[in-house]
A = this chain, B = another copy of it.
Amino acid sequence: MSARRAVVLLSGGLDSATCLAIARRDGFETHALTVDYGQRHRAELDAARAVARAFGAASHRVVALDLRAIGGSALTSDAIAVPKDRTDAEIGGGVPASYVPARNTLFLALAVGAAEALDADAVYVGVNALDTSGYPDCRPEFLDAFRETARLGTKRGVEGRPVEIRAPLVAETKAGIARLATALSVPIAKTLSCYDPVAGGGGAPASHCGRCDACRLRKRGFAEAGIADPTSYAA
């Protein structure tokens, strides 16, 4: 019997890389899906490729989606700056400029579509509701609503075998994710969480800026877990 398949949304950051490790641990043949949405942090795509390769994903699709034609986010519009040096209270208070309109609905829909095309039973997504920048589409209630949408809006759903949406990190802290990543041998050195990374010279991987929300949450998580982050930071 062939292995059950899962599509794993892989951004190249720590959370999605850990999700890929969890899907493997759960016994799935993993098919990584990365979205090239015109994000400011293009180095993320290289990180995703490196992680998928290191983990032996059965396939890795990079789907192009031009969200710059829509804009409305610091990550997809050069006219909006990436917020830096925000305090914990600021990071926890309200939806920030790095919010990309409807991003996780889009990404999950792409993953569910890919799952139907690949005859995969599950989608793994690394969203996290605790140590996040106040994104509405990282919350459990959003995920539940999306599950219902996917059940009603897909061929597999009407056939009574909806694609299962798994978000194993939704209630984890960043420290917990750092510990899980270590326990599951995630190639942490290859991951990149930064919204505004600093290009590496001479083919070297990009560095974390150290100042955007994603960097601050990542740094604090590793510190709280007492684990050394092997990636480099510019600040």
Contacts and interface: CB of A to CB of B under 8 A. Distances in A.
Nearest to A7: B70
Nearest to A151: B145
B62 A65 contact: no
A157 B153 CA distance: 21
Interface in A30-79: 61-67, 69-73
B106 A72 contact: no
A211 to B, nearest CB: 23
Contacts of A185: none
Contacts of A109: 102, 105-106, 109
Contacts of A106: 106, 109-110, 113
Main secondary structure of the interface of A (DSSP, over half): helix
B112 A101 contact: yes
Contact of A65 (B66, B136, B146, B154): B66
Interface residues of A, number: 48
Given A70-B117, A106-B109, A113-B101, A152 B157 contact: no
Interface in A126-171: 136-137, 139, 141-142, 145-146, 148-155, 157-159
24 contacts: A63-B65, A63-B66, A63-B67, A64-B64, A64-B66, A64-B69, A65-B65, A67-B113, A70-B117, A95-B155, A95-B159, A101-B113, A102-B109, A102-B110, A103-B113, A104-B153, A105-B109, A105-B149, A105-B150, A106-B109, A137-B153, A141-B152, A142-B149, A145-B148
